[in-house]
Amino acid sequence: MGIKWDEFFITGDPLILGSQIAIVLTMVGIVAGVTYLKKWKWLWSEWITTVDHKRIGIMYIISGVLMFFRGGMDGLLMKAQTSRPEMEFLDAQHYNEIFTTHGVIMILFMAMPMLIGIMNVVVPLQIGARDVAFPQLNALSFWLFFGGAMLFNISFVIGGSPDAGWTSYFPLAGKEFSPGIGNNYYAVALQIAGIGTLLSGINFVVTILKMRTKGMTLMKMPMFTWTSFIASVIIIAAFPIFTVALALMTFDRLYGAHFFTLSGGGLDMLWANLFWLWGHPEVYILVLPAFGIYSEIISTFSRKTLFGYKSMVLSILIIALLSMVVWVHHFYTMGSGPAVNSIFSITTMAIAVPTGIKIFNWLFTMRKGRIKMTNAMLWSLAFVPCFIIGGVTGVMLGMGAADYQYHNTLFLVAHFHYTIIPGVVFAVFAALYYWWPKMFGFTLNEKIGRWHFWLFVIGFNATFMPMFFLGLDGAVRRSYTYSVESGFAPLFLVSALGSVILALGFIAFCYNIYWSIRHADRNITGDPWNARTLEWATASPVQPYNFAKLPEVDGLDPFWKMKKNNQGLTIKDSEIKEIHMPSNSGLPFIMGVAFGVAGFFLVFEWHIAAAIAAIGIIAGLIYRSFDYDEGYHIPVDEIKETESKWRNVEGEVHNYVK
């Protein structure tokens, strides 16, 4: 198999050597720490084998925060390199690798798991269910995502990072022009994580269609559930395209096929076409759940039902359909001619209409509301103007003829950061402040949260606003340096300083988590925000079975009505029945490891080893097919005890109506 051991570890770069040492030390530290605290068993039985949607959600969110750190470091390194003209901090190759891993990690391993994690925690609770439809599959989704993410992340120390951009366009990404193994990581790791995402999509569609509690018709679902549902539908529609495209890429790179190569009759631009057939819907998969998050938060803290519920639902449906027919706006310059470019310009600009409707709905929800300025609400407010800047520049880019000017400049980079950071990152922060007590039983500190908020928002604008002007002045994207004569230096410097403020904001966030774990008041109610939907009708943190008795619903904002009418807030002993629960399982974790190992061998093109590891995958599938485990029952006494613990506490839900 011709293993080149001398190229196995990346050597000769002090930055990477530093990371290698840091990684080894961190791993030793974690292993030593867990052993010292005697937590292995706890880790295995409470977390690694869990099938509880809330815990899986929390694991997704933790991974997302870690990946945000990694992707953010990449971003800062790039900003450092371009802070002055002709900097000699990163060379061209290193810069290529960093923007590639930054893009992939931020989108697929930060934004996706954050949102899927929040969906996991919140959706079953909002629809009054005890879990998702397929709990063990849910765990498998997580471990596949995690396996893929880890595989991708080790690329920069073992074997070399992919360096052809997060879009990995052919012919550059092919064997001819990227002979190293770096781009194999892209093909294989994203495939593994993608399977996990696809399974999540299926799981949530079934959960939302089949597991809603009594009385909750589709048009009575909370908005976050609606947006998660549509996002899952788009996942099912779009991810298979990526799966196929990545498989073809793998054939090209590993087995000498010619789907996308220049020679042998391949079509290099077909990759771009397939990539964006998935890639554009993907950004809507990200932004729709975020819209749902804002809808919940704005409604809760304005003390009003969401304005224009029906038009909200209609606009997400229209967005979902339109999002499938705009993909060419990413490569107008390929030259498909005026007919193609005109049609796709029109569909692209049309998306602004339903999105605009949603913005107005949020504004009208706030109108005459009694607004409470919590941190979650602040993030939602900051979202509106920032996202509008992103949206308006998007319409500018969407005009095919004009795009020939903007294409491949920092104007584009500024645009999509202005959509994706307010559209996803602000939403994730808002959601974490809002649902944190639901997950952990204490709120994050509001004061430190203010620091987090202002530093991050100011830093964000300072980083990316200059990039619009740099782009209009002709600064191209993915370029590791520029000359003094270009006159770009001042704006690049502002942008770099902005990114430092942004990073301080993130540090404030981490400090807030640390501070709140140490010092926050644990004695809070199940409903600290006086909220409106069902997830607040139960304990915080939520008991394993979610609801002792499944709630019944007859309209929007069911929990609000329950509190207003003082109905269904208490539970009689006679109403408590045994609850059937799924058992934990180690299989999803083992499958994740098997996929990761097989993937690793495949990256290095050690085909025999990969085939042997793949036997593990197949064995896992067979084992699962013959697994007749029926789960277990929680006895009535245990439920009574758990319920009495939170229901009779001072300040509990039924005392909370205002």
Partner 1 sequence: MEKHTNRFPISHVLGFIFSLILTFGAAYIALKTSLSFKVIMWIIGTLAVLQAGIQLFMFMHLREGEDGKTNVINIVYGVFMAVVIVVGSIWVMSAGHAAH
**Applying CB under 8 A, does 626 fall inside the site for partner 1?**
no
406-435 residues in contact with ligand HEM (CB under 6 A) are 413, 417, 420-421, 424-425
**Applying CB under 8 A, does 486 fall inside the site for partner 1?**
no
Minimal distance, residue 365 CB to ligand HEM, in Å: 26
Q: Of the candidates 34, 247, 334, 618, which one interacts with partner 1 according to CB under 8 A?
A: 334
Whether residue 38 contacts residue 175, with contact meaning beta carbons closer than 8 Å, is answered with: no
* CA atoms within a 13 Å half-sphere pointing along the CA-CB vector of 270: 15
If the CB atoms of residues 503 and 639 are measured against ligand HEM, the closer one turns out to be: 503
Interacting stretch for partner 1, rule CB under 8 A, among 62-70, 116-124, 194-202, 322-330?
A: 322-330
> Considering CB distances under 5 to 8 angstroms, the limit depending on partner class, which of partner 1, Cu ion, ligand HEM, none binds residue 75?
ligand HEM
Angle at 326 between CA 324 and CA 327, to 5 degrees: 90
Whether residue 291 contacts residue 316, with contact meaning beta carbons closer than 8 Å, is answered with: yes
Minimal distance, residue 381 CB to ligand HEM, in Å: 20
Residue 620 CA to residue 587 CA, distance in Å, equals: 7
Whether residue 503 contacts residue 71, with contact meaning beta carbons closer than 8 Å, is answered with: no
Instruction: Please identify the residue of the shown chain whose CB is closest to the bound Cu ion.
Output: 280
429-448 residues in contact with partner 1 (CB under 8 A) are none
Most distant CA atoms of the chain, gap in Å: 81
Angle at 80 between CA 75 and CA 81, to 5 degrees: 100
Minimal distance, residue 546 CB to ligand HEM, in Å: 31
> Considering CB distances under 5 to 8 angstroms, the limit depending on partner class, which of ligand HEM, partner 1, Cu ion, none binds residue 270?
partner 1
Q: Are strands 632-634 and 579-581 parallel, antiparallel or unpaired?
A: antiparallel
**Applying CB under 5 A, does 280 fall inside the site for Cu ion?**
yes
> Considering CB distances under 5 to 8 angstroms, the limit depending on partner class, which of ligand HEM, partner 1, Cu ion, none binds residue 280?
Cu ion
Residue 113 CA to residue 135 CA, distance in Å, equals: 17
Minimal distance, residue 274 CB to partner 1, in Å: 7
Residue 97 CA to residue 10 CA, distance in Å, equals: 13
Residue 255 CA to residue 340 CA, distance in Å, equals: 34
Interacting stretch for partner 1, rule CB under 8 A, among 35-43, 109-117, 330-338, 452-460?
A: 330-338
**Applying CB under 5 A, does 415 fall inside the site for Cu ion?**
no
> Considering CB distances under 5 to 8 angstroms, the limit depending on partner class, which of ligand HEM, partner 1, Cu ion, none binds residue 103?
ligand HEM
Minimal distance, residue 645 CB to partner 1, in Å: 37
Residue 422 preceded by cis peptide, ω within 30: no
Strand partners, 581: 632
Residue 496 CA to residue 614 CA, distance in Å, equals: 45
**Applying CB under 6 A, does 112 fall inside the site for ligand HEM?**
no
Give the tokens for residue 569. Answer: 């807030």
Residue 40 CA to residue 315 CA, distance in Å, equals: 48
Write each residue from 58 to 97 as x if it is in contact with ligand HEM (CB under 6 A), else as -, in one continuous string.
Answer: --------------x--x--xx------------------
Which residues does 349 contact at the CB level (< 8 Å), separation at least 6? 395, 398, 399
Minimal distance, residue 234 CB to partner 1, in Å: 10
Interacting stretch for Cu ion, rule CB under 5 A, among 18-26, 223-231, 279-287, 580-588?
A: 279-287
Residues in the chain: 658
> Considering CB distances under 5 to 8 angstroms, the limit depending on partner class, which of ligand HEM, Cu ion, partner 1, none binds residue 406?
none
**Applying CB under 6 A, does 166 fall inside the site for ligand HEM?**
yes
**Applying CB under 8 A, does 328 fall inside the site for partner 1?**
yes
Number of residues that bind Cu ion (CB under 5 A): 1
Give the tokens for residue 454. Answer: 């202002």
Residue 229 CA to residue 312 CA, distance in Å, equals: 14
Residue 310 CA to residue 359 CA, distance in Å, equals: 14
Q: Which residues of 120-152 are buried (b: 16+ CB within 10 A; e: fewer)?
A: bbbbbbbbbbbbbbbbbbbbbbbbbbbbbbbbb
> Considering CB distances under 5 to 8 angstroms, the limit depending on partner class, which of ligand HEM, Cu ion, partner 1, none binds residue 99?
ligand HEM
Residue 475 CA to residue 461 CA, distance in Å, equals: 18
Of 465, 485, 486, 464, the C-alpha closest to 475 is: 486
If the CB atoms of residues 280 and 415 are measured against partner 1, the closer one turns out to be: 280
**Applying CB under 6 A, does 526 fall inside the site for ligand HEM?**
no
Whether residue 170 contacts residue 619, with contact meaning beta carbons closer than 8 Å, is answered with: no
**Applying CB under 6 A, does 463 fall inside the site for ligand HEM?**
yes
If the CB atoms of residues 137 and 164 are measured against ligand HEM, the closer one turns out to be: 164
Write each residue from 14 to 53 as x if it is in contact with ligand HEM (CB under 6 A), else as -, in one continuous string.
Answer: ----------------------------------------
Which spans of this chain sit near ligand HEM (rule: CB under 6 A)? 72, 75, 78-79, 99-100, 102-103, 106-107, 110-111, 165-167, 413, 417, 420-421, 424-425, 463, 477-478, 499, 502
Which spans of this chain sit near Cu ion (rule: CB under 5 A)? 280
Which spans of this chain sit near partner 1 (rule: CB under 8 A)? 237, 241, 267, 269-270, 273-274, 277, 321, 324-325, 327-328, 334-340
